[in-house]
Structure 1
Amino acid sequence: MSDTPPNMKKLPHLSEDLIWKIMVKADPKTVGQCRTLSKGWNFRLCTNLFVKANYKENKDRSKSVIVGIGYPPGDYNSIWFVRAYLHSGRQVQFNVPMDANQYGLYSVIGSENGIICIKISLGGLNSRLLVWNPVSDKRRYVTDEASKHSAHAVSLYAFGFLEDEIEYRIVHVYKRAFRQRNMSWSLYTSFEREWTHSGNDIITVMECRDGSGSANDAVRTDFLISRLKYMESRREHLVQRTWQEHVNVKTITMHSDGLYMV
């Protein structure tokens, strides 16, 4: 080996504006790694303007479907997730970042701007909401409003961001009592970090029950999600699985990686 040190060449100076344009087009995982280089890099890549611009550049590149699968409704504490990428069809196990005991359950409420909102129950009424970014692994826990109402009554959640903003909201729609037809609502905002309750009923629900159903003796379940390519007049399979047992699809959620704060 030669003892002569290699020639050192100065890299050309890159302006702040050029660096910003390059990083905006980088995938969220790469940007997250660059944030750890220094405080200066972290500051540049954490601004609301950058995060929104980076998401717009990447939202169509990393689209995936998160499918929650479990045993029939009588067994609520069994659910697992499969993630399928739309462009490649690659399937991976999607793990929620929190262990639940044998009585626990997960339910994906929604996903937007790279953030996923999940309802987690560790058994009984001991439940809460998890707002989670899988890329940065940042998490925030929110109280579960459903635990304050009748456990057997209707209880629905929705999650989303305000248009072109970094603030998200969680809406909880519920029945105050099982026999009521009217539904009430409460709202959680990431800015105030608390629930706001409404005294007014907003929805009237008409219900119909049919008790003439018969037992399902099938022991095999085929599951398929396809994407229709309209211009090419063909379908493309994204997820295809077969279980030699009776399982149900419980949630289907579209997701794109992003760097929004929770």
Structure 2
Amino acid sequence: MSDIPPKRVPIPELPDEICFEIFKRCDAKTILKVKATSHYWKNTLNSYEFVYEVSEAWKSKGCSIVAHYGFTNKRNSSKDWVMSIDAVFGEPYKRTVPMVVADDGWYRLLGVENGILCFRYCSAGDKSYLLAWNSADKSTKLIPDPPGHYCNKCSFLYTFGYFPGSVHYGIVHLFKRKPRQKFWQVTMYSSAERDWVLTLTCPEYVQNLDPNYVSVDGVIYWIRWRDEKNPGTPLYIVSFLMVTYTFGQIFLPDEAKANYHCLLTHAGKLCVGATDYDHETYTSTIWKISILEEKPTWTKLFTTSGYGHPYLPALFIDDDLIQVMERYFELEDAPHMKYSIFHMTRFNAPEKTKYHLTWTEYDNFDSFYEAFR
């Protein structure tokens, strides 16, 4: 080895291609500091090419889980908090939300994608707002909420997702104008248009949708609730293509049918968790939909089992399955005594190993709320 130190090359002499590769491996705070050094780097690192490539690179990194929890005592009042959980060690910490909400106000986390958190909230009174928040640079975008589109007594859904190959996002809103209206309607806010685009009537099969959804490459997916009155009704998934503004159906095959179902995403593909429950234990099989066509291919990934409620909110981090569970209890003889058990488990399918990330118990309402203040 030579004892002559290598020649130091000033950063400005490096080609932009090399700088891009370096910055794509940096965290958000480092990129923000570099953008503040000059107009050149601000414009360069704000370019569509860089933002898109760095967002794709960050998707494969270990990340935090963002969850919204809270107790609701009144119709228009709640004590809520947004919590981030380390996906490796399970350490939780409360996030400070970017809006001010009064005691009689409320907020809901609609979705998280590409590091952007989308909220719907009401500071006070009845008027609600939508807010897109970049927690890295603390920037916010206030979006008009279309309350005039629907009746407050009717069912409605919101979703949040990005357009494919783009830095722009959309907020999809499904609603009914009147309680007895047969068909849902849909409208969507586009960050590119900066407005709500055309309102259309949904197909007849867009009914009884679970409010939980997933977004994959510009497509929103919901699973249809099981129709107890018509048990012979086939189970299917409803899709909405944000670019073409069209709906579609994906029917569940017989081998993927179970008592409970939930949607997940893994490696850019739609997945379905099919769970059977016997009042004490559950067994879940994870299926991946490889080809989204008229007859998609269903591939069984793995099966996991355990004790607890049959429907566990779950998601993939890298190749591991994360299951998050919150059990809330209230004593009938002492309604002021409330407690909750928060539990998160990480399951590695290839190694068939499962370990608990965190188990936290709060014995009453105040301590549960104060613990994350």
Interval containing the TM-score (normalised by the shorter chain): 0.7 to 0.9
| Pair 1:204-2:207 in alignment | yes
Which range is displaced more, 197-206 or 176-185? 197-206
Query: Take 2:192 and 2:348, find their aligned partners in 1: how far apart are those partners?
Result: 40
Query: Take 1:86 and 1:164, find their aligned partners in 2: how far apart are those partners?
Result: 26
Which range is displaced more, 86-95 or 125-134? 86-95
Deviating above 6 A after TM superposition, structure 1's stretches of 4 or more consecutive aligned residues are: 206-209
Query: Take 1:221 and 1:142, find their aligned partners in 2: how far apart are those partners?
Result: 34
Is the Cα contact below 8 Å between 2:72 and 2:78 reproduced in 1? no
Q: Any stretches of 5+ residues in structure 1 without a counterpart?
A: 1-8, 210-214, 248-262
Q: 1:155 to 1:144 in 2, by over 3 A?
A: same
Structure 2 residue matching 1:182: 3-state secondary structure: coil
Is the Cα contact below 8 Å between 2:51 and 2:167 reproduced in 1? no
Q: Any stretches of 5+ residues in structure 2 without a counterpart?
A: 1-6, 209-224, 230-329, 367-373
The CA deviation string for residues 79-116 of structure 1, in whole angstroms up to 9 with x for no partner, is: 11211021232321111111111011111111111111
Which residue is equivalent to 2:35? Answer: 35
Which residue is equivalent to 2:345? Answer: 226
Structure 1 residue matching 2:99: 3-state secondary structure: coil
- Per the normalisation by structure 1, the TM-score is 0.79
Shift of 1:45: 1.1
Which range is displaced more, 51-60 or 200-209? 200-209
Query: Take 2:353 and 2:8, find their aligned partners in 1: how far apart are those partners?
Result: 53
Structure 1 residue matching 2:174: 3-state secondary structure: strand
Is the Cα contact below 8 Å between 2:163 and 2:169 reproduced in 1? yes
Which residue is equivalent to 2:286? Answer: none
Structure 2 residue matching 1:66: 3-state secondary structure: strand
Structure 2 residue matching 1:34: 3-state secondary structure: helix
Shift of 1:174: 0.9
Which residue is equivalent to 2:121? Answer: 120
| Residues 227-242 of structure 1 mapped to structure 2, 5 A cutoff | 227-242=346-361
Which residue is equivalent to 1:19? Answer: 19
Q: Which amino acid aligns with 2:48?
A: N
Structure 2 residue matching 1:18: 3-state secondary structure: helix
Q: 1:159 to 1:224 in 2, by over 3 A?
A: same
The CA deviation string for residues 33-92 of structure 1, in whole angstroms up to 9 with x for no partner, is: 111011111122111111111122222324211121111464542211211021232321
User: Using CA pairs below 8 Å that are at least 6 residues apart, which structure has the higher relative contact order?
Assistant: 1
Query: Take 1:52 and 1:199, find their aligned partners in 2: how far apart are those partners?
Result: 30
| Pair 1:157-2:276 in alignment | no
Query: Take 1:163 and 1:65, find their aligned partners in 2: how far apart are those partners?
Result: 22
Structure 2 residue matching 1:77: 3-state secondary structure: strand
| Pair 1:50-2:50 in alignment | yes
Is the Cα contact below 8 Å between 2:149 and 2:177 reproduced in 1? no
Which range is displaced more, 131-140 or 9-18? 9-18
Query: Take 1:188 and 1:117, find their aligned partners in 2: how far apart are those partners?
Result: 12
Query: Take 1:90 and 1:162, find their aligned partners in 2: how far apart are those partners?
Result: 32
- Amino-acid identity (%): 24
| Pair 1:110-2:229 in alignment | no
- Residues paired across the two proteins, number: 234
- Per the normalisation by structure 2, the TM-score is 0.57
Q: Which amino acid aligns with 1:22?
A: I
Q: Which amino acid aligns with 1:167?
A: H
Query: Take 2:148 and 2:355, find their aligned partners in 1: how far apart are those partners?
Result: 41
Shift of 1:192: 0.9
Query: Take 1:208 and 1:148, find their aligned partners in 2: how far apart are those partners?
Result: 30
Query: Take 1:40 and 1:230, find their aligned partners in 2: how far apart are those partners?
Result: 46
Structure 2 residue matching 1:231: 3-state secondary structure: coil
Query: Take 2:358 and 2:120, find their aligned partners in 1: how far apart are those partners?
Result: 24
Q: Which amino acid aligns with 1:15?
A: P
Which residue is equivalent to 2:99? Answer: 98
Bigger share in strand: 2
Q: 1:158 to 1:64 in 2, by over 3 A?
A: same
Q: Which amino acid aligns with 1:60?
A: S
Structure 2 residue matching 1:100: 3-state secondary structure: coil
Q: Which amino acid aligns with 1:227?
A: R
Q: 1:55 to 1:238 in 2, by over 3 A?
A: farther
